[in-house]
Chains A and B, each alone.
Chain A
Amino acid sequence: MEKLVPIEMNINYQHYRLNVSPIKRLLDVLREDLDLIGTKECCGIGECGACTVLVNGRAINSCLMLAVEADGADILTAEGLSNNGRLDSLQEAFLEKGAVQCGFCIPGQLIAAKYLLTQNPHPTRQEVEEGMAGNLCRCGGYERIIDAVISVAEKGEKQK
């Protein structure tokens, strides 16, 4: 059996010390060891974005990262978006705009959207399309996902 490797991570603002198998992907550790089931697996090869999480503020596919690589990292998953029961404005917008159908891709979509808006708080529609292209939605809810992201960006603008 492979050697376990001790790692530390901050996940959703909480500190974790774990011993992980080197062959476990970050996705596996989140889902299986930590019960953070909001991060989903579909394609397993970085094509669908269902497993998107933020690692040190950057959106990545957690199916293409070994857990050991995340040693020392700050990680945000969909579970960490809401704070003390208060929803993130993206979460609210997804509900409000009807972006949620089956819901399986939604945690990944939300994280990708979160990243997009931190990089570019006032994206054009085309920039949202490009920024969200790594997240497949087979229910075909793209128009509404894009609307939701834009509505949050616009709200942010008004608050300024």
Chain B
Amino acid sequence: MNLQTVGTSPHRGGGFERITGQQKYVADIKLSGMLESKLVTIDSAHAKILSIDTTDAKKIPGVRLVMTSADLPQPVPRFGPQIADRPVLADGEVKFHGEPVALVVAETIEAAEEAVRLVNVQYEELPVAFTVATALDPAAPLVMDASLRPDEPLAKTNIFKEHHFGWGEIDDSKADLIVDNTYSFPMVTQFAIEPHAFIAAPDKDGIAVWSTIQHPYWLQKILANLLNLPLSKVRVYAPDPGGGFGGKQHTKYEPALVFAAVKLGCPVRLVLTLEETFQAVRRTSCDTHIRTGFTRDGKIVFQDITANYLLGAYVDIADRVVAKGSYAGAGPYNVPVVRIVSRSILSHTPPATAFRGFGNPEVNWAVESNIDEAARLLGIDRLEIRLRNLAEKGDKFIPYDKPSDGNWRQTVLRAAELIEWQKPLLPSHHRGIAVGIKLGPTTGLSYSLVRLLVDGSVIVSCGTSDMGQGARTVFAQIAAEELGVPYEKVNVIMGDTATVLYDQQTSASRSTVLMGNSVLKACYSIHAQLKTRLAKVYQIDESEITVEHGKVKLPDREAPIAELIKSALGKLGGEIVGVGEERKDAEKDHPLGGSACFYEFNCTAIEAEVDKNTGDITITRYVTVSDVGKSINPMQVHMQDEGAAVQGLGHTLMEHYIFDEKGRIRNLGAADYRILTTMDLPKEFYSETVENADGPGPYGAKGMSEGALLCVSAAVACAVGDAIGTTIKDLPLTPERVWTAIQTQKSISSPQ
């Protein structure tokens, strides 16, 4: 196929607005008569609310409303994507540090802030469960009221759900070596540079909401349910988010805002502080106990994985994170016997939700670290041990799911080549290599609308959220390609549930594949209609006309679609409208409700230096190679993979929540929660792709952008392990932690 626009890297759609400061994010939107609001919280992770006195707060000039759960319909409405467990405002009990007990609405933000300080909340501290151990303690307080899940046998425990995956029967005697370790993955936050922001406004007999949301249609559904409104009366505007990373997938404070806006009859805005976003969204932390059996020659005999994921006080989408994140826990390997038990454990911590990698990085680093340890103990090269077990294309490495859909060996070998795996290293330098795999979406539904206008320009409207991944660019490229118009003439419209067709969600690296295919189908529909029109105009048979890949072939000539559209539409002009629908239906008996649409596969290899005196890690070379099927926009693919690497280095090297003994977060905000800066980057950076056009998306594309984050921790930890002769089992690998491991090693090797 001779591609024109696809496979090139035009400027990012929306790029001009972003470099000139004109891009409007939610916090930049002003509505006339709009009021400001602030959340009222208490400094406790778990408390019984005895009383809330709003008298003084209401006296502040400009304050229009101080809303507590008592002002809401009773019983207090609850919502959530998996279970309706979360009250619109704390209902008698605060279950995590930062859970709002009231919302203050005022004419100015200063008045709202002043009033927040004057809301007098009397409360009684209750025992707190904020770690896996304390939450699983039989004496632990119950986080979720058992009445919310009456038919659940686990309702009297803090386990929301326990998932079991695997095949075969584990037999320890089949293994020459069993590596048995427990690894912990820290609690980290998405830290989008754009803090969450929301506006709610009455809209005739319905409501309108602006939100930094990734899944506007899901928000629309939740709000319609809460307010008992038809979907058609709930309009969600979703301007491009300033970074999402999963943390903006689901409904947060929109319901509270909507109730306030309806009560007051005017628009109300809430912009979170960065500190508040830490208390709104985070990744599941996880303790993974893993036993891996090996033969003497390094073949994996079994994987026995128990992953205890720590959820927050409300489930959000985190139980799905647990199921999907642990399901492929055994990795991209042919493993004869697998047993995976993963638990979603509720705790008095901020609600965990989706975060790039969706539960996979948590287990991946345990699995890959265990393989490294086996290689060390068996005296096998660490690259070789992985190649010996890696699934080949077509292998049913998960017996009841999609077979391997890529030449993964090619990816691994390319990464090894780029890191110069076989080349001797300076004694001070060490290497690590790891692979990661993640399932793409298991179900999906994406509609799109493509309009080919009379002048040969195009409008694509689709419900994907472009939060930085560059979806706008990709869909414009596909439409440009198929309709034979220049990229610059395509306008992509997103982010309004009232005018843009339904899309299930923007997650699981799905959009290029599912929405991409939907746009493709819309273009095919335009091709067919164009053919009918042209046959009429030229009075020839449709079979004499071919319309594909932007071109029309007539019996006597060939021309780009854009050149013929005017004559095809005739005197009245107008446009040709194509609707695309891409569907991945649920599979009833599948353990996840559906098989993988594709796999994201990545190999990350690094070279590092470890300072034995300080524990400092310097990454001297970083290699990330992803199997993406086909890059629709090569530059954006690399941008995504580089970004995923940098983000992955965050939880690997420095990011983690720090709690006090009462479960309160001590390092809220940017002062003591560190993320990478320009000075913390690897010294050399290489990002590459493997493209065999073997994906289910347009032109053979697979989803991408999460893959490059999956095995960052393992690759770094493996290099550090090689440097200091021991595997560190807790992230992040702070200098202090590395130094402590070195000291422990020293005292073991030279006992006094």
Q: Do chains A and B touch in the complex (CB under 8 A)?
A: yes
Residues of A that sit less than 8 Å from B by CB: 1, 23, 31, 35-45, 47-48, 50, 77-79, 81-82, 87, 91, 94-96, 98, 100-107, 110, 128-130, 132-146
Interface membership of B378, Cβ < 8 A: no
Interface membership of B421, Cβ < 8 A: no
B678 contact from A1, A40, A101, A146, Cβ within 8 A: A146
List, sorted by A's number, 22 A–B pairs whose CB atoms are closer than 8 Å: A35-B30, A40-B25, A40-B194, A41-B27, A42-B193, A43-B274, A82-B20, A87-B19, A96-B11, A101-B470, A102-B193, A104-B25, A104-B242, A105-B242, A129-B679, A132-B678, A138-B193, A138-B245, A139-B643, A140-B645, A141-B639, A142-B678
Check B243–A104 contact: CB distance below 8 A.
Answer: yes
B16 contact from A37, A50, A95, Cβ within 8 A: A95
Size class of B's contact patch?
A: 35 or more
Check B19–A37 contact: CB distance below 8 A.
Answer: no
Known: A142-B681, A145-B678. A103 touches B242 (CB 8 A): yes
Chain-A contact segment, one of B290-298, B669-677, B734-742? B669-677
Known: A37-B28, A45-B671. A102 touches B467 (CB 8 A): yes
Question: For the complex, would chain A's binding face be called helix, strand, loop or mixed by DSSP majority?
Answer: loop
Check B469–A101 contact: CB distance below 8 A.
Answer: yes
Interface membership of B23, Cβ < 8 A: yes
Give the contacts of B651-686 with A (CB-CB under 8 A).
Answer: 669-671, 675-679, 681, 685
B11 contact from A95, A144, A146, Cβ within 8 A: A95
Check B643–A130 contact: CB distance below 8 A.
Answer: no
Smallest Cβ distance from B514 to chain A, in angstroms? 21
Q: Enumerate chain A residues within 8 angstroms of B16, measured Cβ to Cβ.
A: 95
Check B22–A102 contact: CB distance below 8 A.
Answer: no
Closest to B27 in A: A41
Interface membership of B191, Cβ < 8 A: yes
Q: Enumerate chain B residues within 8 angstroms of A48, measured Cβ to Cβ.
A: 193, 274, 670
B14, B20, B192, B195 — which one has the most chain A CB atoms within 10 A of its CB?
A: B20
Smallest Cβ distance from A144 to chain B, in angstroms? 6
A42 contact from B194, B643, B685, Cβ within 8 A: B194
A91 contact from B20, B469, B470, Cβ within 8 A: B20
B643 contact from A78, A132, A133, A140, Cβ within 8 A: A140
Q: Enumerate chain B residues within 8 angstroms of A146, measured Cβ to Cβ.
A: 678
Interface membership of B638, Cβ < 8 A: yes
What CA separation (Å) do A45 and B667 show in the bound complex? 14
Check B193–A105 contact: CB distance below 8 A.
Answer: yes
Smallest Cβ distance from A44 to chain B, in angstroms? 6
Extra contacts, 12 of them, besides A101-B470, A102-B241, A138-B191 (Cβ < 8 A), are A23-B110, A42-B193, A44-B274, A98-B635, A101-B643, A102-B192, A103-B240, A129-B678, A138-B647, A140-B643, A140-B676, A143-B685
| Chain B 563-606 interface mask (CB, 8 Å, partner A; 1/0) | 00000000000000000000000000000000000000000000
B9, B11, B240, B685 — which one has the most chain A CB atoms within 10 A of its CB?
A: B11
Residues of B that sit less than 8 Å from A by CB: 9, 11-12, 14-25, 27-28, 30, 61, 110, 190-195, 240-245, 271, 273-274, 467-470, 635-636, 638-640, 642-647, 669-671, 675-679, 681, 685
What CA separation (Å) do A142 and B9 show in the bound complex? 19
What CA separation (Å) do A94 and B18 show in the bound complex? 10
Question: For the complex, would chain B's binding face be called helix, strand, loop or mixed by DSSP majority?
Answer: loop
What CA separation (Å) do A73 and B685 show in the bound complex? 41
What CA separation (Å) do A108 and B726 show in the bound complex? 42
What CA separation (Å) do A15 and B643 show in the bound complex? 40
Check B642–A143 contact: CB distance below 8 A.
Answer: yes
Check B193–A136 contact: CB distance below 8 A.
Answer: yes
Check A142–B676 contact: CB distance below 8 A.
Answer: yes
What CA separation (Å) do A143 and B640 show in the bound complex? 12
What CA separation (Å) do A98 and B10 show in the bound complex? 10
Smallest Cβ distance from B40 to chain A, in angstroms? 19
Check A98–B9 contact: CB distance below 8 A.
Answer: yes
Known: A41-B27, A138-B245. A104 touches B194 (CB 8 A): yes
What CA separation (Å) do A40 and B242 show in the bound complex? 11
Q: Enumerate chain B residues within 8 angstroms of A37, measured Cβ to Cβ.
A: 21, 24, 28
What CA separation (Å) do A50 and B193 show in the bound complex? 8
Known: A129-B678, A133-B679. A138 touches B243 (CB 8 A): yes
Q: Enumerate chain A residues within 8 angstroms of B193, measured Cβ to Cβ.
A: 40, 42, 48, 50, 102, 104-105, 136-139
Check A144–B681 contact: CB distance below 8 A.
Answer: no
Closest to A108 in B: B193
Closest to B646 in A: A140
Q: Enumerate chain A residues within 8 angstroms of B25, measured Cβ to Cβ.
A: 40, 104
Q: Enumerate chain A residues within 8 angstroms of B638, measured Cβ to Cβ.
A: 98
Q: Enumerate chain A residues within 8 angstroms of B644, measured Cβ to Cβ.
A: 140
Closest to B10 in A: A95
